[in-house]
């Protein structure tokens, strides 16, 4: 007996929010809000750490919300995925750029933050390029054969959220600690900020290892594709000369 066709699923969106315009999908609108909040946080970054932290933090929280909205309303798009990744990379890069100049008495930290910024950009760009060359539907479509670590990182939402959140929390705590104490209120918060910095450090370090593994696996994938293309070209040239 042929299976019965599934009845059409009701659209969970109110009628006035339904649209076929990808730019106006709810997850993408959340993405635009993230960009606005992060941009405003940059204005306050050198002058008002509390305001900057609140704006930056809300932008990061919305990062989790846009993914939920994409699944909830069946509005997952390639544009949204790229917008999300680009926003993540830009916001983290801006924070690392600030940190590279925030500790002038420790020049080694400047080099470290510059290295972490470069690693973050390089690993994600190479990973995205490798997944596109493979024809994967998403940069998160990493199978276990490619990397068990990356498969766990991208397919387990709890793992992904923990690493991303703790990575940002560590950098934000270092940002807050780079300012002198102008008030008794901030002095009272210093033990808490130091605690956050120490607790999030191991996960932040693990995130950098994941970035390195991601870059190495992406390089391997691209090289294997090049080898296959060279082999196919050699076979084609051999067939033409016969």
Q: Which residue is listed with tokens 């391997």? A: 220
Average pLDDT (211-237) is 91
Q: DSSP letters of 102-170?
A: H-TT-HHHHHHHHHHHHHHHHHHHHHHHHHHHHT-SSTT---TTT-HHHHHHHH-HHHHHHHHHHHHHH
Average of per-residue pLDDT across 232-236: 84
Task: Provide the pLDDT confidence category of residue 136 given band limits of 50, 70 and 90.
Answer: confident
**pLDDT tens, 181-190?**
666 666 788 8
pLDDT at 1: 47
- Higher-pLDDT residue of 15 and 148 is 148
pLDDT at position 13 over 80:
no
Catalytic residue chosen out of the listed positions 63, 66, 88, 120: 88
**What is the pLDDT at residue 237?**
77
pLDDT of residue 9: 57
pLDDT for 26 equals 92
**The pLDDT of residue 234:** 84
pLDDT band at 28; cut points 50, 70, 90: very high
Q: What is the mean pLDDT of the chain?
A: 88
Summarize pLDDT for 85-102 with one digit per residue, the tens: 999 999 999 999 999 999
d(CA 40, CA 56): 9
**In the structure, what pLDDT confidence band is assigned to residue 59 with cuts at 50, 70 and 90?**
very high
In percent, how much of the chain has pLDDT > 70?
A: 88
Element (H, E) at 37: helix 26-44
**Among 30, 139, 130, 141, CA closest to 75:** 30
pLDDT classification of 175: cutoffs 50, 70, 90? very high
Percent of the chain residues topping a pLDDT of 90:
63
In three-state secondary structure terms, 4 is coil
Query: Which pLDDT value is given to residue 132?
Result: 87
Q: What is the mean pLDDT of residues 108-134?
A: 94
What are the sequence ranges of the domains in the chain? 18-241
Domain boundaries 18-241, corresponding CATH code: 1.20.120
88 catalytic per annotation: yes
Model confidence, pTM: 0.86
Given a cut of 60, is residue 16 above it in pLDDT?
Answer: no
**pLDDT, tens digit (0-9, with 9 covering 90-100), for 66-87:** 888 888 888 888 899 889 999 9
* pLDDT surpasses 80 at 176: yes
């Amino acid at each position: 007996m042929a299976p019965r066709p599934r009845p059409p699923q009701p659209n969970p969106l109110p009628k006035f929010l339904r649209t076929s315009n990808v730019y106006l999908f709810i997850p993408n609108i959340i993405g635009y809000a993230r960009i606005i909040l992060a941009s405003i946080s940059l204005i306050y970054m050198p002058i008002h750490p509390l305001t900057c932290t609140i704006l930056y933090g809300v932008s990061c929280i919305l990062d989790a919300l846009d993914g939920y909205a994409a699944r909830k309303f069946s509005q997952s798009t390639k544009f949204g995925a790229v917008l999300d990744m680009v926003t993540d990379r830009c916001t983290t890069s801006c924070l690392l750029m600030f940190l590279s100049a925030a500790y002038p008495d420790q020049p080694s930290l400047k080099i470290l933050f510059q290295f972490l910024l470069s690693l973050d950009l390089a690993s994600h760009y190479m990973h995205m390029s490798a997944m596109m060359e493979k024809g994967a539907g998403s940069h998160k479509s990493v199978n276990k054969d490619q990397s068990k670590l990356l498969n766990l990182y991208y397919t387990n939402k709890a793992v992904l959220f923990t690493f991303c959140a703790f990575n940002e929390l560590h950098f934000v705590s270092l940002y807050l600690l780079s300012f002198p104490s102008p008030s008794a209120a901030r002095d009272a918060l210093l033990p808490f900020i130091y605690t956050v910095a120490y607790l999030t450090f191991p996960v932040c370090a693990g995130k950098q290892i994941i970035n390195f593994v991601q870059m190495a696996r992406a390089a391997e994938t691209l090289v294997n594709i090049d080898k296959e293309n060279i082999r196919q070209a050699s076979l084609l040239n051999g067939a033409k000369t016969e």
